[in-house]
């Protein structure tokens, strides 16, 4: 039996929760003990009584961290949470350590075993735990941009879809992965004039198919990028490398090409950001203006829709949580998708991409 702890998220305005009541019920049926912090699910509209009815023990935060063998969260542990972790524990959550060297150092010092949702990879290269949150973030990017485009928000005062006789908002999306595809899908749905850039023609073919050919796709290059930026009202940064720091694609000189009041939504900010002008913001203070461009750089965008996001995340993670809870370290050491999620093991870096980003050696036994 494994004792699984589900704490309440403490990151700014983070209302998601690591497990749904239904997921808890399955884990309890597997023979595990589940400790849920009091109020952990409130932000996602899950009451303590729902968790209790599925067999969870509702406890305080100290009991969660003191009693858990495996801590299941949503976002990276905050300093107060890191201080509660013990060397014997495993934590399974989004970590994004390549963009968080201080967090990585703190977790290494604590000696915990850390499994990152974002690096769990299937044999065909899919990222099954990252994908649902990427899809939600991408779709929300269009809504966020539409709101920020309104003049009270500091935008250019344009309607995304325009109206007959008035031009539509021009949206440029950099990156045609899951985030970019969903951002394009949502922006097209709002009626925007959408261009997607990527260096991979195959990715552009997929996004054209996904949107029914309603977007303009271009293979990215310096001249193409400059031309698109010069007419863009909205830019969405959606390029990333699994487990690694996001590539810095936009220099200050690029953003100077944008019209004053343009919107930049950086969805790669949780991996360090895709522009040299990017810095982390929060849901309490989501934007700042740099060089005349409104920057939105919130790292936990799916927290805006916690009910949808929590259910989607738990649907994806449950099979892997069951695997880790049922087999422990063995599941991490015998290969397979869950092993690819292993970032840290008892004070050692185990993921080569994370090690490269942190400029630290990877454990030779990985």
**Strands of 234-237's sheet in order across:** 216-219, 193-198, 170-174, 234-237, 263-266, 293-296, 287-290
Q: How far apart are CA 162 and CA 154, in angstroms?
A: 18
Q: Which two tokens stand for residue 12?
A: 């700014």
Maximum separation of any 2 CA atoms in the chain, in Å: 66
State the pairing for strand pair 263-266/234-237.
Answer: parallel
Residue 137 DSSP SS3: helix
- Is 96 an active-site residue? yes
Q: Which two tokens stand for residue 127?
A: 């990222």
3-state secondary structure 201-250: HHHHHHHHHHCCCCCEEEECCHHHHHHHHCCCCEEEECCCCCCCCCCCCE
Report yes or no: 295 and 9 within 8 Å, Cβ to Cβ: no
Among 96, 147, 283, 295, the active-site one is 96
**Strands of 90-93's sheet in order across:** 57-59, 33-37, 3-6, 70-72, 90-93, 113-116, 342-345, 348-349
- Residues with a known catalytic role: 96
């Amino acid at each position: 039996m494994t004792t699984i702890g589900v704490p309440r998220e403490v990151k700014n305005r983070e209302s998601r929760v690591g497990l749904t009541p239904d997921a808890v019920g399955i884990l309890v049926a597997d023979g595990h003990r589940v400790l849920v912090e009091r109020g952990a699910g409130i932000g996602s509209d899950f009451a303590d009584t729902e968790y209790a009815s599925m067999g969870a023990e509702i406890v305080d935060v100290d009991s969660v961290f003191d009693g858990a063998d495996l801590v299941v969260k949503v976002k990276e542990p905050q300093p107060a949470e890191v201080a509660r972790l013990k060397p014997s524990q495993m934590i399974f959550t989004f970590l994004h350590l390549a963009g968080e060297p201080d967090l990585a150092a703190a977790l290494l010092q604590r000696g915990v075993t850390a499994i990152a949702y974002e690096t769990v990879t299937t044999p065909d290269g899919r990222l099954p735990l990252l994908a649902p949150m990427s899809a939600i973030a991408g779709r929300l990017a269009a809504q966020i941009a539409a709101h920020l485009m309104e003049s009270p928000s500091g935008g250019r005062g344009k309607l995304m879809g325009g109206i007959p006789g008035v031009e539509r908002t021009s949206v440029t999306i950099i990156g045609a992965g899951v985030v970019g595809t969903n951002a394009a899908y949502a922006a097209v749905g709002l009626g925007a004039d959408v261009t997607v850039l990527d260096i991979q023609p195959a990715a552009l073919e997929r996004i054209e198919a996904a949107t029914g050919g309603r977007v303009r796709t271009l293979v990215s290059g310096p001249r193409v990028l400059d031309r698109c930026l010069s007419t863009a009202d909205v830019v969405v940064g959606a390029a990333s490398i699994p487990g690694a720091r996001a590539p810095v694609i936009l220099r200050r000189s690029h953003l100077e090409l944008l019209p004053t009041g343009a919107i930049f939504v950086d969805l790669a900010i949780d991996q360090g950001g895709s522009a040299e002008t990017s810095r982390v913001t929060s849901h309490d203070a989501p934007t700042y203006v740099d060089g005349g461009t409104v920057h939105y750089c919130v790292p936990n965008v799916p927290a805006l829709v916690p009910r949808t996001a929590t259910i989607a995340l738990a649907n994806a993670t449950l099979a892997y949580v069951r695997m880790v809870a049922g087999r422990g370290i063995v599941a991490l050491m015998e290969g397979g998708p869950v092993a690819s999620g292993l970032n840290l093991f008892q004070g050692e870096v185990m993921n080569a991409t994370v090690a490269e980003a942190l400029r630290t050696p990877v454990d030779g036994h990985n």
